[in-house]
Chain A
């Protein structure tokens, strides 16, 4: 049975997923990318504020 995937529009380039392109990702990965601000797209479910914060907690940003 085929695994359902979620189509997202990449905002950042993430690894080999190129910014400005639409990619289909497993729902968990798509949710993570959307919650972290790496991509735009539909979430697979509602996320609590705590869950949203948990996704962002270990991300780091540096300006060059």
Chain B
């Protein structure tokens, strides 16, 4: 059940969230477990997320048109989390715009439907290479 956070869509409509593809805008991804996080449309900021399992990854090579031919699709380079501690399967993630303060960092997208059991090494999230890529508005 991947989804947009509706409160983020509201901010996109109002234009208050800014250009999330801009170089100066920091978007981060947090790996999570569904056992520790239940998606809710009432969640607005990263402070609603559980503590990070490993350092959140900053997205780079961001684009608003997929790989050039899909306007409205957000894409970015794959995200690698280094030395993820061994443990139960990781099966969801959230993307947020980092303001430096969790309580003001808007949640953007939630993705689940995957599972990976960390072995203590790195985990790379490979974003889809076709519409909707990471997310489509």
A residues sitting closer than 8 Å to B (CB atoms) are 10-21, 36, 38, 57-64
Contacts and interface: CB of A to CB of B under 8 A. Distances in A.
Given A12-B77, A13-B78, A64 B113 contact: yes
Interface residues of B, number: 30
A38 B80 contact: yes
A36 B93 contact: no
Interface in B41-84: 55, 57-61, 76-82
Contacts of B128: 63-64
Dominant SS at the A interface?
A: loop
A16 B124 CA distance: 14
Contacts of B99: none
A61 B117 CA distance: 11
6 cross-chain pairs, A with B, having the tightest CB-CB distances, nearest first: A58-B121, A19-B60, A19-B77, A18-B60, A20-B61, A62-B116
